[in-house]
Structure 1
Amino acid sequence: MTGLRPDVAHAATARWPDRARAWIDALPTELTDVCADLAVTPTGQIFRARFAHVVEATSVTGAHLVLRSSPDHDAVHQAAVLDRLACVDLAPAVHLVRQTQTSTWTAMDAVTPGTSLAEDEPNPADLEAVAIKLRTLLDQPGAPKAPSIIPWLRGRLIDPPIDNQPPHRGPAAPADRRAAIAVLDQLDNGASDRLCHADLSPPNVLRGHSRLWVIDPRGMNGEAAYDVAVLALKLSDDQFDTTRPHARSIAITSGADADRAEAWVTVVDAGTV
């Protein structure tokens, strides 16, 4: 069976010391059970992930699946949002969501060729395609029981997690975070309880043969305008001045509220999401 990457084991142990050991010990048996239930065999390919065991498997008919296991307490919400995104044809088809005593498993169709917008710089047609896909989210209810993005963002703004920051920058200045909290209070008007990806950065947008797919949602409800802001910020390499007009342009194409998308830029930038 495909073994766990040492860096993932170390990262999971550091983040969830109360759960990681049991998760690591149970992985071989749980992977065997998942493969048996899906009638697939691991190919030996392991995908890079920070806190999850992600492997490729194939069926006797040649279909390729991606199997993912994480000890994260919130992985069950990530799986629920992924399943909802698949139901509206934004994410690959999901074939299994399983919660065990140690982890949450998902199995979804593999994306081929599967290069991300982080690996292959997006062109204008790619950005238009992503924006058009975001239209699907505008009227979609949130995933049942998934938490709102609002408290998570407020927590990052009040007490920035030192161990969970982008590699090229640290927490925003206190004055910027206070200003962002005021903006977040205005945005918190009940409009952020809908289906959204909540981590729509270039590594999470993959190229298929004829279209783009999204993977690895954060597992929270929000709104399409928030996804627009995150995508614009990451495509602008976290440069605030260029992000705001970029977000407005994407929002107009997607049909999302451009004013809210621009306001969300202030929040996601100060929250260093």
Structure 2
Amino acid sequence: MRKHHEAARSFAKKGSCRAAKGPRLRSDRTHHPKRQHGAGTAAHLGRRPPSRPSSRELARRRQLEDSLRKPHPGRGPRELAEKSEQGETVTKTNKNFRPDEVGAEIEIPANVNEAVTACWPELAPAWLKKAPGELARICERYEGRPVRTFNARYGFVVEVATAHERLVVRSTPDPRGMDQAQVAQALFDMGVGPRIHDVVQTPVSVWTVASRILPGDSLKGRPVPVERLAPIFRKILDRKTENDRLPTLVDWLRSRLNDERSNDLPSGRSWASPDERRQAAAILEDLGTEDSNMVCHGDASSSNILVGDGEELFLVDPRGVSGDVCYDVAVAAWKTPTDEQASVRAANLARLVGVDTERVRAWLVIAKAARV
């Protein structure tokens, strides 16, 4: 621990993972982006940057937001069937899903009910009451039907089948829901997250409507070499966010190290000892806050890394903070299945991403003490 502590002090003087500054993100591309040729951040990555929404699209969003605020008339979503070329109904399954009976009403899972009630007792009752009706109106707007719920902890996450594609609709009462949506949009702009079609804020919830990653299996329980992880973190390295009001990773970790909330611990874990947390807090202060305006996922664990087409990896469910990508590298190395020692794996991944190995190891010490 002393070795990591001393190493972290030297890296605090160096600043961030790299000194180079990346292009800035645009914060005005939040809802249903359309792509066009042009310059800027996306062009720098070899992708077409999204244009501003059309007046028709803006009107559609306003109509959707208004409909979510109106009392629900009790009518369920429109039923649609997705057919294959042979005319058969197609239902794709995934081991990361908890399937519900087709045609059955989709309900907020009991574990989500319990977690949300424990975390936000003042917000939970209204959200639990209104979220199912809001889901029905979103399904109706997209002419889709709910298919199944995803495993989640603090959100109501549902797969919705439409005539054109599969969507993932997510609702949360988390006060940081809009921050999470903004980071999710930034990840899409960089090519490491799913397309965000809509972000809708209601009096009780924040909804995101995204394209579903297919096949969409998470890396939970699946060994993955660091060579496959490195590309997603290289894409977000040294990328700034234009929203300087995002909560910072440092503040979140500092609070977690000083606040023992038993309802926010990973399953089967106990809080670190006071000495371990104090040492981690000292390392955290030494690392500094130079990366407070940088894009960071904040929770790059195996369950938040999905496998897409061609085995490409995508990041979902960001924490909604800005910070140091070296932290993401440390967490991904630690929380993806492997037989390697976490510090060795973290250093190997750091070298492939092109960041300071000792800085990544220092973040690993902090992450472990914070029980993230």
Q: Is 1:80–2:182 an aligned residue pair?
A: yes
CA distance in 1, matches of 2:345, 2:209: 34
The answer to which of 94-103 and 3-12 deviates more is 3-12
Letter aligned with residue 19 of structure 1: L
Written as runs of structure 1 = structure 2, the 5 A alignment for 1:20-169 is: 20-37=124-141, 39-61=142-164, 63-122=165-224, 124=225, 127-142=226-241, 144=243, 145-169=245-269
Structure scoring higher RCO (CA < 8 A, sep ≥ 6) equals: 2
Please report the TM-score for the alignment, with normalisation by the length of structure 1: 0.91
Equivalent position to 1:250, from 349, 353, 372? 349
Q: Is the 8 A contact 1:135 1:256 kept in 2?
A: no
2:21 is matched with: none
1:19-57 CA-partner distances (Å, limit 9, x unpaired)? 1111122223311332233x2312321111112111111
Shift of 1:153: 0.6
Is residue 181–residue 320 contact of structure 2 (8 Å, CA) maintained in 1?
yes
Give the AA of the match of 1:234. K
TM-score, scaled relative to structure 2: 0.68
Query: What is the CA-CA distance between 1:189 and the residue it aligns to?
Result: 3.8
Contact 1:229 1:261 in 2 (8 A): yes
Q: Which amino acid aligns with 1:34?
A: I
- Deviation string 1:171-218 (CA, Å, 9 cap, x unpaired) is 111111111111101111412431011100011111112111111111
Deviation at 1:15, TM superposition (A): 2.0
Residue 206 of structure 1 corresponds to 306
Structure of greater Rg? 2
Please tell me the residue identity of whatever aligns with 1:78: Q
1:2 positional shift: 2.2
* Matches of 1:82 and 1:23, distance apart in 2: 22
User: Which blocks of at least 5 consecutive residues in structure 2 are unaligned?
Assistant: 1-104
Superposition RMSD in Å: 1.9
Count residues with an aligned counterpart.
266
Q: Does the 8 Å contact 2:291/2:322 carry over to 1?
A: no
Distance 1:50 1:143, change over 3 A: farther
Output the amino acid matched with 2:276.
Answer: D
Secondary structure at the aligned position of 2:262 is classed as coil
- Aligned counterparts of 1:139 and 1:251: Cα–Cα separation in 2: 14
Q: What is the CA–CA distance in structure 2 between the aligned matches of 1:59 and 1:223, rounded to whole Å?
A: 37
Q: One-letter code of the match for 1:195?
A: V
Is the CA contact (8 Å cut-off) linking 1:84 and 1:143 kept in structure 2? no
Compared CA separation, residues 19 and 226, structure 1 to 2 (3 A): same
Q: Which moved more, 1:99-108 or 1:143-152?
A: 143-152
For the residues of structure 2 that align with 1:40 and 1:170, how far apart are their CA atoms? 45
Q: Residues 55, 143 of structure 1: CA spacing in aligned structure 2 closer, same or farther, 3 A cutoff?
A: farther
Sequence identity, in percent? 35
What secondary structure sits across from 2:216 in the alignment? strand
Question: 2:77: which partner in 1?
Answer: none
Task: Please tell me whether residue 260 in structure 1 is matched to residue 359 in structure 2.
Answer: yes
Q: State the secondary structure of the residue aligned to 2:294.
A: coil
